Amino acid sequence: MENYDQSALALQKNLLTLRQQRDRQRAVGNHTEADHLDKLITGIEQTFAQLQDTFKPTTLQ
């Protein structure tokens, strides 16, 4: 289970990085790239929302 939680933490960090990149792109006016990143982030978040509770690690927000 430890590896599973470590993977979930790494995924959270990657999502945070994607959100930060999206916000930076918007800040510099690159809305096309920001929209692309937003779609990726939304897709990942929707996938997690569909997971059964037994598959959601406690570290995943």
**Domain boundaries, given as residue ranges, for the chain:** 2-51
Residue 58 confidence (pLDDT) above 70: no
| pLDDT score recorded for residue 44 | 86
More confidently predicted of 60 and 5: 5
Computed from CA positions of residues 50, 53, 57, 61, in that sequence, does the dihedral angle turn out positive or negative?
Answer: positive
| pLDDT average, residue stretch 30-54 | 88
Q: Which residue has the higher pLDDT, 8 or 11?
A: 11
| Residue 33 DSSP one-character state | H
Model confidence at 33, pLDDT cuts 50, 70, 90, reads very high
CA 31, distance to chain mean position in Å, is: 19
Phi and psi (nearest 5°) for 18? -60, -40
